Amino acid sequence: MGQTAIAWLNELTTLYTPTESEFNAARRHRSAIETRLDAHLGLREMFEIGSLRHGTGVWNRSDADFLACLKGIQPGSPWTMLNKVKETLQDRFPTTEIVIRRPAVVCRFSDADVEVVPAYPAISGYEIANPSDGWMRTYPKNHNQYVNDVNKKHNGAAKKLARQVKIWKYLRNVPVSSCYLEMRSAKHLDGENTYSPIWDLYLTLYKMQAANLASMNDPTGLGSRFGACSSDSNRQVALSKLNTAVSRAEKAKDAYRTDDNAEAVRQLKLLFDR
């Protein structure tokens, strides 16, 4: 008897779960970054916001992401903030390539990429650089809590599903936001009473297709909408790949429903390019 579709999907998920060495690299660099920013710019707090620590990261793909809330007066332009952080960290790590990739300053260490998102406190949430222009409000603690709550409701399934959709993104080179995929996955499971791996993978992809990768409302009700892609051209590429993914996920779901595990696994392999 061959491998079941669920067993194959679980094996893939395990294969792309980040290793302890990735976490250790992030720990090593965090301390040095935090000390430097606090000494030269003043730091209110710094905490991890990315998928690596949150439990939805993908092995060898996800960076360590930290929000660094700075002291002082918020400048008129986020570029002032980003440039100050970049210059401060470049002085501390002169042999490391450090670049600005809004809203983050990216430190490309030899063993890991670390993204630092500079921020200033708001009445609620934080003000960070908008990827397009100006400032934007973000609520990372609330968003993480929302995903954690849905994950708890389904005994860990929300983060597993989010990781699987991100694996598809990376293996198929889909230019879509990882944050968008995570929130779409959690939003889907938030409306479900039970979790079925093959079905919910299909339904998550299908719902994004039905929405044409439109921006989604913040499910916490706090922030602005979550955008899917950085440009319309990327959105068209992502939609094309999503259409193919939905077709394959549907065939895998239909085969699984009739206990044809061999065909279900074949379609999953096509879906994830394995």
pTM: 0.84
- What sign for the dihedral angle of Cα 58, 62, 66, 67? negative
Question: pLDDT category, 45, cuts 50, 70, 90?
Answer: very high
Read out DSSP for the chain? ----HHHHHHHHHHHTSPPHHHHHHHHHHHHHHHHHHHHHT-EEEEEE-SHHHHT---TTTPPEEEEEEEPSPPPSSHHHHHHHHHHHHHHHSTTSEEEEETTEEEEE-SS-EEEEEEEEE-SSSEEEE-SSSSEEEE-HHHHHHHHHHHHHHTTTHHHHHHHHHHHHHHHTT----HHHHHHHHHHHHHT-SS--HHHHHHHHHHHHHHTTT--B--TTSSS-PBPS-SSHHHHHHHHHHHHHHHHHHHHHHHHHHTT-HHHHHHHHHHHHT-
Of 199, 187, 193, the residue nearest 158 (C-alpha): 187
Q: What is the mean pLDDT of residues 232-243?
A: 95
- The predicted structure's pLDDT at residue 102: 83
Q: What is the mean pLDDT of residues 18-39?
A: 85
Domain ranges of the chain: 20-138, 142-272
Domain 20-138, CATH homologous superfamily name and number: Beta Polymerase, domain 2 (3.30.460.10)
The average confidence (pLDDT) of the chain is 91
Per-residue pLDDT tens over the stretch 134-153: 888 888 888 889 999 999 99
Peptide bond into 103 cis (omega under 30): yes
- The predicted structure's pLDDT at residue 107: 94
For the chain, what is the radius of gyration of the CA atoms?
20
- The predicted structure's pLDDT at residue 1: 53
- The predicted structure's pLDDT at residue 267: 98
Per-residue pLDDT tens over the stretch 108-128: 998 888 999 999 999 889 999
Predicted confidence (pLDDT) at residue 26 exceeds the cutoff of 80: no
Per-residue pLDDT tens over the stretch 171-182: 999 999 888 899
Question: pLDDT category, 199, cuts 50, 70, 90?
Answer: very high
Predicted confidence (pLDDT) at residue 53 exceeds the cutoff of 70: no
Rounded (10°) CA dihedral 258, 151, 213, 224: 160
